[in-house]
Chain A
Amino acid sequence: MTDVRAPETDPFDPAAERDDQPRPGSSSPGGTFGLADWLKWAWRQLTSMRIALILLFLLALASVPGSMLPQQGSNPASVQQYYVSHPALAPWLDRLGLFNVFAAPWFAAIYLLLFASLVGCVVPRTFRLAGSARTLPPRAPRHLARLPRSAEYTIALPPGDAVEVAARVLSGRGFRLRRPDDADLAQDWVSAEKGYLREAGNLLFHLALLGVLVSVALGGLFGYKADRLLVQGQSFADTVSALDEFHPGRFVTAADLGPFTMTLNRFDASYISSGQQRGQPSAFDARVTYTEQPGGPARTFDLDVNRPLSVDGAKVYLIGHGYAPEFTVTDARGHVVYNQPTPFVAGTSGNFLSEGVVKVPDAQPEQLGFTGVFVPTAVNVGGTLESVFPAADNPVVSLIAYAGNLGMDSGAPQSVYQLDTSAMHRLTTSPQVLQRGQSLKLPGGRGTITFTGYVPWVSLAITHDPGQLPALICGIAALGGLLLSFMIRRRRVFVRARVGPSTGSQRVDTTVQVGGLARTDASGGFEAEFAELAAELRSAHEQAAQHRHEGE
């Protein structure tokens, strides 16, 4: 009896790829279950679809805390905030790796097991697909009418000729054919199969996912990320000492940085000034001049939010901006001991109300320090300053002055945005508000601070990721594989011809049966294809019969 169901090794049937049922005889004889058996059992479990499914769920579930809790990688400041607001809970979450979920060992364990399961499934399937390239379709089943699709008609052709014609039509349609061999005595049928690319697409999809993982690893090991705040008019070179933050991959050294230099010529931000979206930014433009190599030609470029600059293997992105108020400080001797723009960072209160500090280590007789707020468009609301618009339409600063020891020579690194006031004393009782051009006279003849103006600054991200292009290629390959595996159906068509009931005349009557099935018809449409194919077979048969009739 011929069975259309594929033999066990046939990749026709996806469920056959992953064995859910223990095979008879899988345990060793005598009832002992040795280490090898355990390993075999574990591997079979791992590569079963059921475990793969569970790992998929775990992957989805494990990602959830990564979106709910602040993450060290993307937002370290929020993690600090969380420590402050949940002092008891935070250390425990940290121990579980929940502030760095996507780098946590347990997260890695899930996806590595998943990919191991994938390899264990996909590699044997690839070999099987390669093998099936030489395998013939199965023999035609006896009763084609029992297949999901079937058609039947009679034709005035001998059975042998009818099958011959059918084989020509099917072969012309790109089907792989199988004809009766010596074992099938006196049978007239042809089996045809098509759609092997479906499985190839499926495998391509899964292999490409592996490729994405490898690409990500490549970027993590050989790439780097860096940040740099650049005030308008200033320059920097892409060296470790000039960068504010530098996160190299495991195999990256300082020597791998591109030696380009960059100057911020000017930065403009425009904002929507009316309507519901008032205060929303409408456009940014950062004009930079850069040289790829020291001594190379200087080029200009307009950096924008969606327009990074590629330079020397790295990419430079505009990721933020702010205001740097300019201060001039004179000390008790009348010397100008500070005269520069000082980047202030926008807080959460909106409209670029920004905070920052001014440190004047060279002031005599004591070092001076100021904590300040920059308000781009200031309005006095009941005694407190508020910013009502992000553009600098009415810029003011509000300062608190300190004198004493800034603590900068202790050797410990200090944040430029924080003032260590532990060894300082306050000079002004309340914050002093200055308009542009106004000065604050420090008590006790310690000097003056003048708010002379402001310039914008931008924050730049500089990244180099060698895994980027491979990841893109693998992503596209995965999509291509997906489309192949969804759009192509693996289908079999069988044609049988038997001598039909005699009509009493001299004509030969042959009953032609056509049967078809598609197991993996994800996007549908086999029904229509079969109907069309059956009609084509019939018309080819009728033509051949006509021809034969005329020939007689």
Chain B
Amino acid sequence: MPVNVALGHVSNAFLIVALVIYSLSVVAFAGDFAFGRPRRAAAAASGQQARDRATALASVGAAGAAAGSAPVEPEVPAATAGGEPVDDAGSMPELEVPALRAIREAGRWVLAAVALAAIGAAAHTTAVITRGLAVHRAPWGNMYEFVTALTCVAVIFFVFAMIRYRAWTLGVFVMGAVVVTLGLAETLIYTAPGDLVPALQSYWLDIHVTAMTLATGIFFVSAVLGFVYLWVDRYTRRVAAGRAAPDNGIVRRLPGIEQLDRLTYRTIVFGFPVWTFGVIAGAIWADQAWGRYWGWDPVETWAFITWVLYAAFLHARATAGWRGRRAHYVQLLGFASLIFNVLVVQVFIAGMHSYSGVG
């Protein structure tokens, strides 16, 4: 079937609209930091508590925490005593309040920002769907389409997580990263709607690439949260060392370091099985198309490296001396390997996955 050019134009228009609305939502998220209603005292206190505790643990040292000998009160397990953190420390107090009311109570700026992000996501989704209808296939067959689809996943996933965990203060970072990524995709690698080479004409494109797109969108959010974590962690340590004043207005509004850690962990826990499924689906497809389920093609190799690094993150979180900062370096390394795979390996290294449609 020929490409529906008119529908392709509709898709492009929706994508531009989404980009504009996203930009406005970033402005609104930033506006919340600048002019927004101060967080309720309880929330601020809890965040401060969490940071105090993190500082206290840091001063005890990794070894102390590792041996599980840190609890102040013998009958209550310490937040990080042994293994994964207990699901307690500094739960967001706003969780008690229903989500919509919590958004309203967070002030006009947050309300506007969340609404804009959601409307932008709707426009973005429409763009992706109309592109799919225009080319009569899953709309992630080349790199440009892959980036537009994965950012769409990232926004939807983040909006969901943001509302569920009342984490709107992270919106400026995630939505900002989405705007930059989408803008770069539009300007640098725009590819007109078109057909796919026979190698990609398989329902496994729908399964394998869809899973990879979903996982990448989720890991995109994890990576942004990882950067925020490292920043807050660095600031917290500087404050603890007396090298910075504890008056950073942005950090004060962000979730505490343990909440950030847990939120990031949960996004990766969500993304890792999807990535695993994508790799397995890819192996099945490779078996159908190329006669072997695993052949260490460069793209396969890098998907494996990414998988190993995220697995290392999950293990690092349960290993003394690797929790926290180092674990987040590992997950960022995992995301870096994923991006390297998409931007470098698929474009510049000859292999069987050279479908990027770039260059």
User: Which of A's residues lie within 8 Å of B, judged by CB?
Assistant: 1-5, 13-16, 18, 20-21, 49-50, 52-53, 56-57, 59-60, 63-64, 66-68, 71, 73-75, 78, 101-102, 141-143, 146-149, 216, 225, 272, 275-277, 280-284, 304-308, 315, 317, 319, 461-463, 465, 468, 471-472, 475-476, 478-479, 482-483, 486, 489, 517-524, 526-527
Whether B304 contacts A63 by the Cβ 8 Å rule is: yes
Q: Report the minimum CB–CB distance from A529 to chain B (whole Å).
A: 10
Q: Are A1 and B74 in contact (CB under 8 A)?
A: yes
Could you say which of B24-32, B121-129, B175-183, B317-325 contacts chain A?
A: B317-325
Partner of B198, one of A282, A462, A478: A282
Q: Is the CB of B192 within 8 A of A276?
A: yes
Task: Count A-B pairs with CB separation below 8 Å.
Answer: 199
Q: Once the chains bind, are A15 and B319 in contact (CB under 8 Å)?
A: yes
B295 to chain A, nearest CB (A): 6
Residue contact B276 to A275, C-beta cutoff 8 Å: no
Across the interface, which residues of A come within 8 angstroms of B91, CB to CB? 527
B89's nearest neighbour on chain A, judged by CB, is A148
Q: A304-B198, A482-B272 are in contact. Are A524 and B87 (CB under 8 A)?
A: yes
Chain B residues, CB < 8 A from A21: 66-67, 320
8 nearest A-B residue pairs (beta carbon):
A148-B88, A15-B83, A67-B298, A306-B202, A317-B291, A67-B301, A521-B87, A461-B291
Interface, chain B (partner A; CB < 8 A) = 66-68, 73-77, 81-84, 86-88, 91, 95, 191-192, 194-195, 197-199, 201-202, 204, 262, 265-266, 269-270, 272-273, 276-277, 280, 283-285, 287-298, 301-302, 304-305, 308-309, 311-312, 315-316, 318-322, 337, 345, 349-350
Cα–Cα, bound, A519→B66 (Å): 15
Query: Which residue of B75, B273, B304, B311 is within 8 Å of A4 (Cβ)?
Result: B75
Q: Which residues of A contact B308 (CB under 8 A)?
A: 56, 59-60, 63
Given the contacts A5-B82, A21-B67, A471-B293, A280 and B197 also touching, CB distance less than 8 Å: yes
On chain A, the residues within 8 Å of B288 by CB distance are 306-308
Tell me the smallest distance from the CB of A260 to a CB of chain B, in Å: 16
Q: How far is the CB of B345 from chain A (nearest CB, A)?
A: 6
Is the pair B269, A486 in contact by a Cβ cutoff of 8 Å? yes
Contact of A16 among B82, B199, B269 (CB under 8 A): B82
- Besides A15-B319, A20-B320, 14 new A-B residue pairs in contact (Cβ under 8 A), listed by A number: A4-B75, A15-B82, A15-B320, A49-B319, A50-B320, A52-B315, A60-B305, A68-B349, A74-B296, A281-B197, A304-B198, A306-B289, A461-B290, A517-B86
Instruction: Chain A residues near B295: list those with CB within 8 A.
Output: 73-74
- Which chain A residues lie closer than 8 Å to B198 at the CB level? 281-284, 304-306
Interface-central residue, A16, A67, A304, A471, by most chain B CB under 10 Å: A67
Report A167 CB to chain B, min CB distance, Å.
23
Contact of B312 among A1, A56, A147, A282 (CB under 8 A): A56
Least CB separation from A5: chain B residue = B77
Is B319 a contact partner of A522 (Cβ separation < 8 A)?
no
Cα A306 to Cα B198 with chains together (Å): 8
Inter-subunit contact B76/A225 (CB<8 Å): no
Contact status of A272 and B315, CB under 8 A, knowing A60-B308, A475-B280, A520-B84: no
B269: which A residues are within 8 A, CB to CB?
486, 522-523
Question: In the complex, what's the smallest C-beta–C-beta distance from B89 to chain A, in angstroms?
Answer: 8
Contact of B305 among A49, A64, A518 (CB under 8 A): A64
Complex contact A53–B316 (CB within 8 A): yes
Contact B294 A482 (CB under 8 A): no
**A residues in contact with B76, CB < 8 Å:** 4, 146-147
Taking a contact as CB atoms under 8 Å apart, the answer to whether B87 and A518 are in contact is yes
Q: Closest residue to A284 on the B side, CB-wise? A: B198
Contact call A319/B77, Cβ cutoff below 8 A = no
A520 contacts B83, CB within 8 Å?
yes
Report the minimum CB–CB distance from B141 to chain A (whole Å): 11
B77 & A4 in contact (Cβ 8 Å cutoff): yes
Point out the residues of chain B lying under 8 angstroms from A519, CB to CB: 77, 83-84, 86-87
